[in-house]
Structure formats: C-alpha cells, structure tokens
Chains A and B, each alone.
Chain A
Amino acid sequence: MRNIWAVTRQTFIQCLRTRIMVVFCVLLVVCVLGIGFKMTGDGTLKGRIQTFLSYSISLTQLLLCLITIFLTTGIITADIRHKYVFTVVSKPLARWQYVLGRWCGVVGMMGLLLVMALGSIYLLSQHIRKQPTRIERKSVSSLMQRKKMDPDRLGVENEIFAARETYLPEPPNIEKTLQQKIKQLIEEKGKDNLIRDYIKKMVPDEAKAEKVFDHPKMRQKAFREIELVLREQITEEARQAQTGKAIGLTFTGLKPASADESLLQIRYKLNPFKSSKTTLAGAWQIVNPDGPTGPPQYRSDSAKMTSSFMLDPRLVSKEGRLTVFYINLQPGTIVKIQPGDVVVLQRVGSFESNLVRAGLLILLRLMFLAAVSVLFGVFLSFPITCLAVMMIFTTGMASGFIQDATRLPKKTEPSTFEYFSHYLVKGIFVAVPTLSRTSASDSLVDGEYIAPKTLLREYLVTFKQPGTDSGRFWQTMGLEIQAGIGLRTLLTLVIGWLIFRRRELAGIN
C-alpha cells in the first residue's frame, strides 16, 4: 500500500508539473468564464443558466477526458521511452503496484480538477441565479410579488436548482379489452378459421399453409401470434385519443405530498396522428386516486414540442399514486402519446447533491479513459496510444448512434453487410462501454435527479430483461447482465497489468 501511495504521490506531482496540464487548465478556466459571462441563451434567466450549465459542464467533461488521455498516455509511455522505469521497477515495487499507482495518481489529479471546475461552475451559476429576470428588472416596487409569479424565476428555482425524479406512466392495462376482443373474434369466425386465416396471410402458398395448419404445435404458435398482434393493436389504440376522448395514465411510486413539497410537474409531448396540425388544444385532468380532483388545465400546445406545467403536490395519494387524463379537444385530429412522452417530475433532492453525483459520473468516465490509456501505454508508443484511446472514447460517446445505425432491419431481410456490421458493432460494445448513457450535463440542465441506483448501474452492473439494450456483457438465466463502466475499468487495469508484467522494459540500445 505504501508503494502504491508513493507512486500515486509522485504521479500527482508529475501531473502538476506537466505543461500540457497547465495549457488545458488555462483553457478550461477561460472557457468556463467566457461561457458564464458572455452567453445569454434565449434571453431568459432560465435559458441563460441552462445554456451556461450545459456548455460549461460538457466542455469540462470533454477537456478533462482529453487531459486524462494525453496525461496518462504521456506519463506511461515516457516512463518506458526515456527508461525512467528502470530505476523504478528495480526497486521493491511490484508491477501491479506501479500500474495501479500511476492510474490512481492521474485519477486523483483529475478528481481534484473536476472538483475545482464544478465548484467554479456552481459559484458562477449562483451568481447568475441572483441576476434579475426581465420582469424583475421592470418594477422594483412589487419585486416580491413578481418573484412569486414570474415564470422565469419559477423555472429557475423549480426546474434547474432542484433534483427531480422522473416517473414514467404504468403501461396501459389492456388485458380485459384483449380477452373481450379474442372472445368476439372466436365467436365470429370460430377458433380454427381464425387460425387458418392467419396462417394463410403469413404463408401465401396454400398447400404449405394447410400443412402448417395440420400441425397442432404450429396452430398453437399461430394463435399466440394472433394474441400478440391484437395486444399491440389494442395498446396502440389505448395511446390514441380521438376528439373528445381521453387517454388515462397512472403514475406510481411518487413521494406522498407533504408540507415542504412544493414541486410536482408534468412534462409532455403531443403527436398528431396522420395530421399536419401544428397546434393542439386539449385539457388535462389530474386525479388523486384517494381524494380530490384538481381543476382541469386547458392548454393549447405546439405539436411534437415539449411542454410542461406545475401540479398541486397534494394530488399525489398516500400510496404515491397519481392519475392523469388527457382530453383531446382538437377537432378532427387524433392525438397520440408514445411511451415516455408524458412524465411526472417530483423534487427529491437538492441541486448541490445532484451536482456531486454528476461529478461522480464524469469521474467514472475519466477513470475508464485513464485505465484504457494505461492498458495501451504499457506496450504502444505515445501517438498510437492516443489514437487508440481517442477512438474508444469517440466510439463510447457515439454508441447510441452507432448501435442505431447498425441495427438489423425488421421489415426486410438483412444483407450480409448488415449482418456483418451489426455483429461487429455488438462485439465492439462488449468491450467498449456506452459512455453517453447517462449525461451529467443533461441531468443538471433539466434538474433531473441522478439516483444512487443510476450511479451503481454505471459503476458496477445492470440487471435487466434481455434484448432491451445492446452492449451486454453476458446473458444468463433470462436476465441480461451488463457490466458498468467501473467494472470495465477494473478489467482494463487487470489486462494492462498482465501485459506490463510480461513486458521487457529494456531492448537493444
């Protein structure tokens, strides 16, 4: 342990005295200050703070990632190239201690820089927060009154300087409708005819279709498929509202209302179905399953744009349930709500604690990049290592896009190239983590709560149902286990050590 600390300490000093570090730090300070004082966003105070947070945190993350790559690579490759490592590994220092010490030193330095950068961002954001909004500037006499009503100020306080948990609605309960529909179809056609028709649709060759139908197992399979198709149809229908009709959504797991609970917000996006309408009129009715019903909110919103409004927190039941109805009032237009289009946001923590967790998320990426730099640095030269790590970094950041682009088409038969690229990308993402999965800056800008379980998932592992995401580490017992970035960092370091352990540090002079 003392040896690791000695190497860590020395790495820390080395980082402080490296020119590249000074250059990046100056760049970071200039950029953060520039963004803080020069950017105005959309002209509102909320927009200014959101722009500042978004740009400054993204920039901090990017610059720190770059410093980590260049610094770690530089330190490790210089040790080997300039043979500094001769005098170090000839001392009673195991090679794993050297690798770990170097990694810890860089990560420690990056941690310190991150704290300083986020601290500066926090102080600057507080400074901007104290600036008057447009309405506050207009009249000083009724400042207090206006502060309460000013939507810009409310937005700043309730949507940015807060940590809000996001709740998704329960999937619509369609079982009863589904059973009724199946019953009705069987009554109309008879079960065998229903199945035969379905098979004929799927298999155009009549002789073959009859053969399939004769097979009892195939008949069962076909009936299950009919059920699935019906289920999809009914679910789709449940997400649509014709004029004058309503869509009901139930949210569970919310915190029951209490005196200090001042924030509950609904955020939504409405999609006109087969219509080019740009504005949609509608009403929202919020219901406490145990108690009062709130007054309806009549609104006219832009189609496909995100809108929001505040809710009375007392509408949440003691069991943490809340029911929301959207009533379509737009004549001649069907409104569709996709999963995730309507969410309820509830304050569960402070901006400061969220900022700390955002910092931990950024630090995790830096830890991973430092480990990858160590891994390549122990056997490759500086430029090659930088190139390799940069490729991994960009691949990890663009993982969502890459995976979407190489997904196998559902409607047509995939070509050989599509198969090849799909499985190649799948293979790559076994090793490369999805670095863009949880964005620290997005969470802070929208005041979204970064839950401890999110951190745990990013650091260690995720257990979930198979097939919901790619990049899985291994799959077993019908449960997909996806290794978190932290676990991959550890594995990367172990591989780096194994290579370094067998590496001959001297060659022919």
Chain B
Amino acid sequence: MSADKNNDDVVRTTGLTKVFRDFWLREKVTAVQSLDLNIRSGEVYGLLGPNGSGKSTTLKMILGLLYPTRGRVTVFGASPSDVRTKARIGFLPEESYLYPFLDANETLDYYGRLFGQPRKERKRRIGMLLDMVGLTGSAYRRIGEYSKGMQRRIGMAQALINDPDLLILDEPTSGMDPLAARQFKDLITELSRRGKTLILSSHLLADTEDVCDRVGILFAGQLRTEGTLEDLLSQASLTQIVTERLDDATRDAVRRVLAKSDTQVISIESPKDKLEALFLRIVRQAQTRYRTADSVKTGEVAQFLRASPEETGRKVIEELLAGPETVTPVTDKPPPSPLPSQPKPDSGVIAELMSEAEEAKSPLPQSEATRPTPKIERRTDEAVDRSVIDELTHGDGSEDR
C-alpha cells in the first residue's frame, strides 16, 4: 500500500510549530518553528540535526504523541491520532520503551494484538521477525535483561510487526554494533524497495548517507536545508579518476599532463577501505566459520517484509556476506552516487594521460596484496565535502528534544 492516490505526500506538515511551556504557561523553549515538510510515498527521508534541533519533537508530532502549538500535520492525509492512520505506521523510538517484564515473544505478541492480527498470523510474523533480528534464542528472556543493542533490535521488530506503510525511526542505530547497524541499513533499503516510506532521524551522518534519498537538516527547530543527497553533496568543481594502482612514474606523468592543461592536482593517493567495511568483513568471516545458533539466520529480512519472496532479501544478505567488497545496496532506483554529477572528463587530457602512462609503466607486476579492490566504496569520505553538513550539525551539546 502506498499513499493516497490523490495525495502523494505521506507526511505533510504546514507551518508546524511546537512551543513547550512551563507550569505557569510561560514559553520555555521553541522546539520546532514553522516547519514545512512533504515526505513522499516510497522515499527514505533523513531528518538530520544536532542534539536539541527538534528532530524527535517533529517525529512525536507526526505520531500524535505531541500536539502542535501552531500549524498542521497530516499523515496519509489524516490526523496522526486517527486510529486508521496509526494502523499504517511503524515506530521505533530513540530508546527502548518496551515493557521490561515481558519477553521478546510476549512483547511482539502484545503489539501484534494491538493491530488486531489473528493468532496464526501473529505467530508467523513473530517467528520471522525474531529470526530477522537474531533474537530467536533469546525469545523467552525478559527485555529488561537485554543489552542495549538487543533492545534496539526487538524495538525494530515491534515497529515492523504490522508491515507498515510508513516507518518512523528515531536514532535507529544508536547503541548498535556496526554489524547490527549494517543489517539495519540493509533492512531499510529492502523496505524502501518494497515502496515503504521511511523517516529516519539521526545525527549519525554515515547512517543517513548510506540509505536516504532525501534529507532535511534541522537546527534550532528550523529547517535549514533540504534536498536529495545528490544535490546536497555533489562537488562540481572537482574531478576524481579511479584507476588500478599507479606507480610513481605514472603518477608523475599524470601530474605533468594535468599541469599542461593548467589543472591543479589536489591529491593522488590510494583509496582507503572504510573501517566499517573492514569490521564487517572480519566479523562475517568469523561468522561463517562458527555457524551456530541464531547467527546463521541473523540479518535475513523477514519474508513478509521482502519485495519479492526469497530472492531479493537473500541477495542482500549474500552480497553482504560475499567478502571484502563494500556493499552497494540493492535497489531498483538508481543508487545515489557519491559523486553523481561529476563533469564529463576532457577526452583530450585522458588520451594524453593514457599514452604517457603506457610509456612510464613499470615492468614490475603488481602483487595481489597491493592490488586495489575491484569495486570501490560507493562514497568515500575524501570525496564528500562535509563542510556544509558539519557546520550545520555542529551541536551545542544540549540534549536532543
């Protein structure tokens, strides 16, 4: 199911303002100010901002947990407190707000009941979700005894129990180890493929960057900028050429060629693997060696949440487990490239470069160890100018609202 036919916006806020007042009704803080958001069906929207920027307050107004002081918010064209609207929403709060005296099974059963799911269907979904989040072995342990990461995972499972059309995730990867965080991101990608709308609030930029189609940056309750990652992150003034490893002679030749055309070389260096990718590779290798208990299935997207049964979900996982390559999320949509709108390289310069490189080529063969990985990171930190985001998201250390 997607958004209403006549209205493609799943979430729409108009002049949304939230002022918190004290006991004497004096204005205490303006958490959100004149916020206009249009979140479209099927997109992954990232709400970024430092602590105290109003991300959580915005989400809580979208969920009907807070009432706007001014302005209006609609979800699927209706009020957020409408029960029919809420039936289409999944929500993962910023912390585990689950009953500590219930175990994972009971927790999911309770939330499944609130959606009026029949017993058989509830059981089926609970089993699949517990498998997906890797908690089958701890299904009968009370949530109060869980680690923070486990609580986040069961929190995610409860948010997905109804196979929601709109999934609201508040700081979804906080408290998670990199492996679980990666699985989360894969899940988000998979849900996006199914046409679900996702709103993600985070101050972890890497998380958002990996999965979001569009982001909005909040600061002091106001939307400072909004757009696709492509628009926000492209650096039209720079060109990056990626080749196999070059020896010193070739590098010099490249410099000479570029100097001839008055192009300033900023840096020529071997790309580095991301620490996240390295971590994932090592852990996955260990996992395949010790295939025990839940770890075998952990991370596999629950069948009822997959785009097409079996295939796509498995594909994501298989790619994840494949080895040293960094992962490119499987998606029907063209992936937002890290340098998406680089200007086309000048063909003359390239031809000259190539010929000089041939001449300067060292006779020594490259060893396996120094050979760069065939696939490169989709986005590299070096390639992205974060100055805009960093400046805007530089927190003042205050608590998140």
Contacts and interface: CB of A to CB of B under 8 A. Distances in A.
Interface of A: 2-3, 5-7, 9-10, 13-14, 17-18, 82-94, 502, 504-509
Interface in B85-117: 86-87, 89, 91, 93, 95, 97-99, 101-102, 106, 110-111, 113-116
Interface of B: 20, 28-29, 31, 56-57, 60, 63-67, 83-84, 86-87, 89, 91, 93, 95, 97-99, 101-102, 106, 110-111, 113-116, 155, 158, 162, 399-401
B83 A90 contact: no
Contact of A87 (B20, B57, B91): B91
B353 to A, nearest CB: 55
B28 A86 contact: no
Given A2-B116, A6-B113, A86-B97, A91 B401 contact: no
Given A13-B106, A90-B86, A508 B31 contact: yes
Given A6-B110, A506-B60, A87 B93 contact: yes
Nearest to B158: A87
Top 10 A-B pairs ranked by shortest CB distance? A6-B113, A92-B87, A91-B114, A83-B97, A17-B101, A90-B91, A92-B86, A506-B60, A92-B83, A506-B65
Contact of B113 (A2, A87, A94, A507): A2
B238 to A, nearest CB: 40
B182 to A, nearest CB: 25
Contacts of A90: 63-65, 86, 89, 91
Contact of A504 (B66, B89, B116): B66
Contacts of B400: 509
A508 B114 contact: no
A91 B66 contact: no
Contacts of B115: 91-92
A93 B83 CA distance: 6
28 contacts: A5-B113, A6-B113, A9-B113, A13-B102, A17-B101, A18-B101, A84-B98, A85-B97, A86-B91, A86-B93, A87-B97, A87-B98, A87-B111, A87-B158, A89-B64, A90-B65, A91-B111, A91-B114, A92-B84, A92-B86, A92-B116, A93-B86, A506-B60, A506-B65, A506-B66, A508-B20, A508-B401, A509-B401
Contacts of B116: 2-3, 92
A313 B57 CA distance: 76
Contacts of A505: 65-66
Nearest to A94: B83
Contacts of B155: 87
A84 to B, nearest CB: 5
A84 B99 contact: yes
A508 B54 CA distance: 10
A325 to B, nearest CB: 68
Contacts of A506: 56-57, 60, 65-66
A71 to B, nearest CB: 13
Given A93-B83, A509-B401, A6 B114 contact: yes
A3 B97 contact: no
Nearest to A17: B101
A509 B158 CA distance: 23
B56 A509 contact: yes
Given A91-B111, A92-B84, A92-B86, A86 B158 contact: no
